[in-house]
Chains A and B, each alone.
Chain A
Amino acid sequence: MATNNQDAFPEDGETGTEPVVAAPVSAVGATLRDAREKMGCDLPTAADRLRIRQPFLRALEEGRHQDLPGGTYAIGFLRSYAEFLGLDEEEMVRRFKREAADALTGRAELVFPSPVSEGRVPTGAILFVGLIIAAAAYGGWYWLSGRSHSVANLVSPLPGRLSSLLDRPADLTGKTAAAPSPVTAPAVKTPAKTAPAKSVVVATPAKTAPAQPAATASKTPAATNSAAPASKDAAVKTPTVTAPAATKTPATKATATKAAPAATTSATPKPATPAASVTAAKAPAAATAPAAGPSQVVLTAMTGDCWIQVQSKDGQLVLSRLLHKGESYDVPDQSGLTLTVGDAAALQVTVDGKVLPALGGAGQVLHNISLDPKALQTRG
């Protein structure tokens, strides 16, 4: 069985590769059959010698490529058979490959058996879609909330005991009043300074905060009450100069302002004398001051928490916050401010210390209320 390919090659030439190639059925198969018949060997003998099953050899001879096992095996069988018949193996394999290109799909597709997925764990695609939905939802929420959320004055007003340290009255008076105001400014300050000292003497219950309003309040009603008939215009304006000092101090306890008139009526006799001297000293100054001081509007949450929003003329948000019960907000001196209030009954509006009637009923929401002092007063 020691075959030599070199010896086999001429034989292959004898069988005539060229004419057989033209045969329509199967050139390789015909060559194989011719060679076998020439050898005088029948199919069972060949199958027995090669240990290749007869049906496979017959399929090879008849060119039924689909009946042969996969590519590698078919070529292996052909090679063995060609060697057995003394044909040129490589040449036969080459021709067979060309002929059976459709049956031999080059490389067997390798598909590994994989376990059926349990279906509980979300697959990557589901996770990905979920992420996209979450991102879209967040983006939408962000966009919607971002529209109404502009810069607002969220800084709560300065507590009175701190603001008293500021030289605000001087500034204000300096701004509002002309030449004589510097004269009034120290005049305003002096009672503020002296007031605590006095309050100790008078023994007003609380320490500084109530004492000052008491002092100022006592001063203002004194001025309003006593000087009202005389010079009403001046009297109305004088406190407005002092008001910043006063309102800042009662800001902490708005009730003080309310209580103030009551207190003044009783307290006037005693502390009024020093206060009166101050007001008296100041009254001329106030009287001399031009009547240019702006009205002071104070919003106070009286009966409960109340949400307010203040907008300027051009729609800019000045403030949007919840006033807690007892808190008050000094409306800045600007024209054209409008107010939106969440609970009209809970909000008390004070103009120059004068309490205006409630803007509306309990729980009523009011929009675009002008915060101009005059408009408020006429509304009341």
Chain B
Amino acid sequence: MFSKLTGWMSADMAIDLGTANTLVYVKGRGIVLNEPSVVAIAEERGKKKVLAVGDEAKLMLGRTPGYIQAIRPLRDGVIADFEVAEEMIKHFIRKVHNRRSFASPLVIVCVPSGSTAVERRAIQESAESAGARRVFLIEEPMAAAIGAGLPVTEPTGSMVVDIGGGTTEVAVLSLGGIVYSRSVRVGGDKMDEAIIAYIRRNHNLLIGEGSAERIKKEIGSACPPEDGEGRTMEIKGRDLMNGVPKELVVSERQIAESLAEPVGAIIEAVKVALEHTAPELAADIVDKGIVLTGGGALLSNLDYVLRHATGLPVSIADDPLSCVALGTGRALEEMPKLKNVLSSMY
């Protein structure tokens, strides 16, 4: 009863704990925070201290002196560094929950559908030790579908492809549940890595993760342009041959070539999911098609490539970056109604 009382006073929140970005949705206020999942840790006399979290820490990524470490605590959609992840969640909760920590909030966190019980427990425990009163978990594809506004509770199949930073979730939903889901550990990060590897192999130039991400956002494309080289971009990095900083120009065609592998993996995942879909649901999906959410949906021409690979209509959700956070937030707002999409490890 007491926890109910404090529940009124605390700001319950939904957290989309993503590999790349963490979004926090506060009940009644909407998305209030959207920052990169990066923590900068300084080591002073053997003691680790949080130096910066979010945007500030992201600027430090790859530019740190010896005593500072800029860490991304999540890898492939799950927690890789437990303590740092806990610090990050604590920081975000404190930033949003400005009511002097009188009452601790109820928190809903989304987890990849393909995550193991150990990984889920790690996420739940770190949220709990970060000061949550109660923690519920929601599967990412379900949150994404709710956030995209799909009729998930109707007896009709909906297919959602959520391309996040670490994972790509492909799921078929019907009657408020996940009929089939497939999670591949390919996402924005893998695309960045592919770009880095391609440029190093073809141009002998080493670029950082941040530069790779910028290239992907600016001229990244899922398929090469029909003619010519497409858009171009100047990139800077270190020459591997003689070790000096160097600048060169890459084209859209080159980047599309480098992204062929991760994009192929995503297409493969969608195809496998379609193969495993029951015929009635497949018939629904033929009519309405696939909905893309997540940051990866912003990769230009990805919908085009998927459309041609699957022969299905492919549409991109409104505001794909915040679909998962919005869906998790809606689960929080309509908690009694959407109770059965939430789970808890204990």
Contact = CB atoms under 8 A, between A and B. Distances in A.
Interface of A: 1-2, 50-53, 69-73, 75-77, 79-80, 93, 107-108, 110-113
Interface of B: 146, 148-154, 175-176, 221, 223, 225-226, 230, 252, 287-289, 291, 300-301, 303-304, 307, 311-318, 330, 334, 337-338, 340-341
B312 A51 contact: yes
Contacts of A75: 315, 318
Contacts of A53: 287, 313
Contacts of B153: 110-113
20 contacts: A1-B301, A51-B312, A51-B313, A72-B315, A72-B318, A73-B288, A73-B289, A73-B291, A76-B291, A76-B314, A76-B316, A77-B315, A79-B315, A80-B314, A93-B318, A107-B149, A107-B330, A110-B176, A110-B330, A110-B337
A106 to B, nearest CB: 8
B226 A76 contact: no
Nearest to B292: A76
Contacts of B318: 72, 75, 93
8 nearest A-B pairs in the assembled complex, by CB-CB distance: A76-B315, A2-B225, A112-B176, A72-B149, A52-B313, A108-B151, A69-B288, A73-B288
Nearest to B176: A112
A240 to B, nearest CB: 70
A13 to B, nearest CB: 22
Contact of A77 (B154, B175, B313, B334): B313
Given A1-B301, A112-B340, A72 B226 contact: no
Given A1-B226, A113-B153, A69 B316 contact: no
B149 A108 contact: yes
A50 B304 CA distance: 8
B63 to A, nearest CB: 33
Contacts of A52: 289, 313
A107 B323 CA distance: 13
Given A72-B291, A80-B303, 12 more contacts: A1-B223, A1-B304, A51-B311, A53-B313, A69-B288, A70-B288, A72-B315, A76-B291, A76-B313, A108-B150, A110-B338, A113-B176
A51 B226 contact: no
Majority SS at the chain A contact face: loop
Majority SS at the chain B contact face: loop
B181 to A, nearest CB: 18
Contacts of B288: 69-70, 73
Nearest to B331: A110
B291 A51 contact: no
B221 A2 contact: yes
B315 A2 contact: no
Contacts of B312: 51
A110 B243 CA distance: 58
Given A2-B221, A80-B303, A113-B153, A72 B311 contact: no
A195 to B, nearest CB: 72
B188 to A, nearest CB: 20
Contacts of B307: 50-51
A123 to B, nearest CB: 16
Nearest to B304: A1
B317 A72 contact: yes
Contact of A2 (B252, B287, B291): B252
A77 B151 CA distance: 16
A72 B148 contact: yes
A110 B313 contact: no
Nearest to A1: B304
A111 B225 CA distance: 44
B149 A2 contact: no
B151 A76 contact: no
A52 B314 CA distance: 9
Contacts of A72: 148-150, 291, 315, 317-318
A9 B307 CA distance: 24
A294 B345 CA distance: 87
A50 B223 CA distance: 16
Given A72-B148, A72-B291, A112-B337, A2 B317 contact: no
A70 B150 contact: yes
Contacts of B226: 1-2
A305 to B, nearest CB: 53
A115 to B, nearest CB: 11
Given A1-B226, A75-B315, A70 B338 contact: no
A73 to B, nearest CB: 5
A46 B148 CA distance: 25
A107 B146 CA distance: 9
Contacts of B148: 72
A110 B152 contact: yes
B255 to A, nearest CB: 12
Given A1-B304, A2-B301, A70 B313 contact: no
Contacts of A107: 149, 330
Contact of A110 (B146, B303, B314): B146
A108 B317 CA distance: 14
Nearest to A50: B313
A76 B176 contact: no
Nearest to B145: A72
A110 B340 contact: no
A108 B334 CA distance: 13
Contacts of B225: 2
A76 B317 contact: yes
A2 B301 CA distance: 7
B314 to A, nearest CB: 7
Contacts of B252: 2
A257 B222 CA distance: 121
Contacts of B340: 112
A70 B316 CA distance: 14
Nearest to A69: B288
Nearest to B306: A51
Contacts of A73: 288-289, 291, 315
B230 to A, nearest CB: 6
Contacts of A69: 287-288
Contacts of A77: 313, 315
